[in-house]
Structure 1
Amino acid sequence: MFNSLPRYSVVLLFALLLSWVYLFPPQLVSSLNTEISDLFFRIRGDIPQSRKVVIVDIDEASLEKYGQWPWSRLRVSELIRKISDARAGIIGLDIIFSEPDKSSPHTIASQLKINIKNLDNYDQILAETFAATPTVGGYFFRFDKKTHENMPIIPAVFIEKGLQNNHTILEPKGVVLNIDILQNSLYSSGFFNNVPDADGMVRSVPLIMRYEGMIYPSLVLEMLRIYSHANDVFIFGDAMGVEKITFGKFSIPTDFAGRLYVNYRSGRNYFKYISAGDILQGNFDPKDIAGKFVLVGTSAVGLADLKATPLDSVMPGVEIQANILDNMLQGDYLHEPFNIALYDLLILWCIVLIFSYIFFNTRVWLLAPAFIVFFVLLYKLFFYLFFDQGIVLNLFFPLVAFFGTFILTAGFNYFNTSRQKESIQRIFAKKVSKAVMNDLLKHKNNKILEAHEQEVTIFFSDIREFTRISEALNSSPKLVALLNRYITPMVDDISRHEGTVDKFIGDAIMAYWNAPNQVADYADKAVMSALRQIELLEGLNHDLNVEFGVKLKIGIGIHTGLVTVGEMGSLDRSDYTIIGDSVNVTSRIEELNKLYGTTLIVSNATKEKLKEVYTMRSLDIVRVRGKHQAIEIFEVLSLGKDEKLSLELDQYHTALSYYRSGNIQHAYREFEKLYARYEHKLYRFYLDRSKEYMDHPQKNFNLVYTVENKL
């Protein structure tokens, strides 16, 4: 028969296999993971934007009206000045001017070698516009061809913290810049590369790149830095990669390469678009631009700046930049944890181990509902982590781990069901305790029958003067009927409190808590059951007096300790029971009720386990019959605080403290007052003990009372 070792070995091998695939993933696995994350975006749908970012679009209508791109620098200058005149906060150019304007009169005259002074130089006019407006220029890096250009000076200091000898930041081979006259007139500039994944989808965008040993910012990062008036940009990380970029009040988490995972707000045209043609014609509301971040770019198909994103297959590159800028303005970043591999593997192993345990220990008919419930919970958890907490984790492997674990455990459970039924039926044939049989049915295997050590709370109860009662009845049928009337409600109450009845020894009942199954608060449940049985007996005695002419009194002893629990007996007949020294101690504790005139005694070991509040008192420190080690015992009077007994208990505790401190004469006087008022056997017992020491002053005081004979 399969046991826990081989079945858990299989799931562990499954987890190891998944871990290996995670560390060395084939391209198909990476593609499936990105497909799942893209699906999350589509399920989530649109989210609000800051409305601080506006796109001035060189669209098809603009090209139709003003001609194909590139436009003359004079028209571009007019466009930028009109944007600036509308009080734009900052203007970012998602376009590049890498060649001189061929339509400029100055350029034409130079080409014709005509020396005519004072001709308009459109590039110079645009340069002057750049210098006079809050414009940040754009350029792009090349990864296919090495070039040698004088890079623009960025008016900021980029400080790397912990990135010594780091090569995770993208390092392009070359760069395409604006022509010198334009580049030099710009206050600052940034690259606008959108680097797609292997499947052509743009999911993350670099915020920094390292070129010829220097760090350069992206266009939108530089726009935000200028907006924040920060001169120092800190790049934190270690030799493994970048962790975050901070400046001013902004702290931007990135991946190891300094890329931002874009939290797309929606598909294309979600941000405010204003046609460049409308700007040039003055056909727009200046309020749409005033104080805003304005990105100038193009959505025209012919200009080939359309990209695929998780929410749209053809999003203009300039709108991707708008999404990134809006992410940073609102601070709702999506980012991979710095040690993402550790997190992903930890989640993978937790899913395999936790759900294998759950599914292995779930009844077959509950597997499908449990699978659905846990799948929904996992989905909600990852959705919450992804979008509410902004934590980008691998989604493919948790999904495979969950499905794979379910299939493995369901297969094992299905295969073992028939064999387990046969085994349990054989066990049932040997069992005499119905409670144990029913409990065994709840378990997936029969290892519970094997003898093992277990801490339990043990219960013994016994009817006082039962011999006298049996003689008075003088009838075996009546005696059996009396016992049945008494035992039935007591056993029912033990079961209601999750106890297991072990056996009946004449008129005595033996039971225990915390076996075969673990029982929460088992000591409390044993004590509460005992108190309830005392109450039941008070009500039952009226009927017993009418039917049999007797009233029963019982004594109960409760102790907690280690026992050996399991199936014991002969080959043909056995029972699930407990044995051990703690059983004998409990039996001796129950006998002490006769000595102290009490009904319910618990040991200190049980008292220490109790969580509920009870009215109780310390009875004595005793060495029970046949034992060398002394234990403290307590009488439990009620559940909760009994104010009616407070005065008596206060007086008793005063008397007991005198006695235990060896102040015998004071103790004697206090117990004498108690006995005169309450006539309790306990007080008579301490009076006799005190008097013994008073009559024999030479006798050494011994706090421990030793029980020599059977009571």
Structure 2
Amino acid sequence: MRRIGRRDIVAAILIALVTGAAFTSPPLQNLQGLSLDILTALRWKLIGDRRDPATSPVVVVAIDGETYETPPFKGSPTQTWTREIGRVLGSITEGGAKVIGFDVIFPSSIELSEIPFGDTSFGNRVRGFDRDYLIALRKLSDSGKLVLGEILSNDHPDRPDHAQQLAVKNNIRALNVHTDADDVIRRMPLSFPIAGQPVPTMAVELAARALDAKPETGPTGVTNLSGYAIPNTVPNTLTLNFRGMGRDIPAYSFADLRACVEKGDTEFFRRAFDGKIVLLGSILNFDDRKLTSMRLAGGYDGTPGSRCALPAPASTAQQALSAVAGVFVHATVVRNLLEHDAVTELGFPLRTILTIVFAAIITAAACLLAPTGAAVTWLGLTVAYAAVAVGTFTHAIALPLTEPVLAGLTALALMIGYRFVVADREERFLRQSFAFYLAPEVIDGMVASGKMPALGGEMRNITMFFSDLAGFSSIAEKMTPSELVALMNDYLSAMTDIIERHGGYVDKYIGDSIVAMFGAPADDPDHARNAVAAALQCRDRLEELNENHPAFHGRGLAHRIGLNSGEAVVGNIGSRRRFNYTVMSDTVNLASRLEGANKYFGTTIMASEMTVSQSRNAYTWRELDTVRVQGRDEPIKVYEPLAEKNQETQEQGIRAATYAKGLACWRTRDFAKAAALFESASGDDPPCRYFAKRARTLAANPPSADWTPVNTLEGK
């Protein structure tokens, strides 16, 4: 196991973040669907489904090949089947079916045929042919036990013929499906907007009627049906759970049921359909076939139901099919809804985190182990994770599978490549490496002397610069890792360029914080003035980024800057084996406290009295307060830079003068007058509002006689 350095850790983190973010990004969204397909196949192959199809709450009446080969349907157009369909529907209803849905559409009637027949048309010759069928539809529709299907489309809608629409009134629902980019059905829509109102799809309507409930969609977009909050990652959809791969749903041949009606076996219809939801649909091999998440293992067109009148056709055993009949997709939705068994998919943030964690583990293994060992680790982790994912999928929870595995494999390759090209050829990049963490002056001295830097330090008068982004954690939570890295790179680069242009040296970055010093390692007698100039430009530059930079737009980033001048020890500080050019002293600590103190006053820049005195009257200042910061007993005066000397606006001058008068009244305990002065200038000025509130409080509740005008700040 090799030893790893800081650079290796940084590389590993970046590789994990990049690969994790890449494989869950929208361009690779098909991987999410592929995960569902693989999980469906693995669950079926490893665990299967032991449920008895007879217990299914939904059954299918199948217009199958047997129907087309059995009289009176053989050789007859489907428009002539309506009478028999009406008779079968009546028997199914009398058998106790809760509701019947049509996954077949009869868009025309034989009565509308205009084929010449003698001196008139064929349609006129058979006028009244559909009468019994339409009466049956009306009767079932009025009882709430029938729903016809339609296909919604702006270009080519497909609806039942006009007479059927009149017979069933408004009992028509959409059969449209939700198809992913790879033409696979993994989710189904829950409703469609019709006349400005959401109308449930066929499957949702059937389940709702069976439960005697109505689907309700809340403000969060979650649809609730009879107490079941339907999970979804794609709004207004249900993720299908093909737990039984179609074999958990009985399918009764329409030809046999028609013969059963002729036989008069009402008891068979009661046994088969009592309390069931019934879907009428085609299961022909050439009609309405759908690719679903069962495609990898193969699905089934149901399990043949018991027979009533006709002998079972001589056929081979059922075979798994890549595409199943569309009616079983709708039947699966109904069963998922009734059994609260729809698949719960993880949202984008959780999928990304899981993928990054998986990639990070593989990256760490590739960093520590030999390539062969790292590859074995990837394989072992993949098998273990797949087992966990299949286990959770048995409980209808889908973990991402392909994204972590592929991200881990890519991270493995990238980390091995990094080690080969970079980490094991360190000498080639010695100078470039030093340039990232040593000051240029230190590197120049090392090259000139031919010696490596040594431990040691000296006392110097410097100005410390601390900055930190306000509320950045809450903003970062709403960003992807790649967006966060890009944003921070742009921000830190912009601020660092300003600091270095003014002679400053960036000691370190701590997350979104910058620690810099002016006056070392290069001598600078104007270090305080340059530090203030850099702070003002950093403030202005961030405003420009917020307005003009696409990555910053709308995020409202703001930072706080603390400045303090004084004596400090600077030099190569650390252990004998590892050290950095850095700074140590109370001057550093106080600058850090002043950065945090900005949040009390609502200011962007706060400087100590020492920095003000050493800036050589180059700026106009506003004295903010006398404060006692955490970790120091001695109070200090703190100031805010307004502008370069004589460059302040008239408004800034008036506000500063009013603030000074209010501060004077505050210190003489005239709190009411102080509050009035601060309030008069408080418009868009946070320090005035802060002091006005404090003054009003003390005016209403005067302090004790030993009160001193020192503001003790509790936090950092």
Normalized against structure 2, the TM-score is what?
A: 0.48
- TM-score by structure 1 length? 0.48
Q: Which has the higher contact order (CA 8 A, sep 6+)?
A: 2
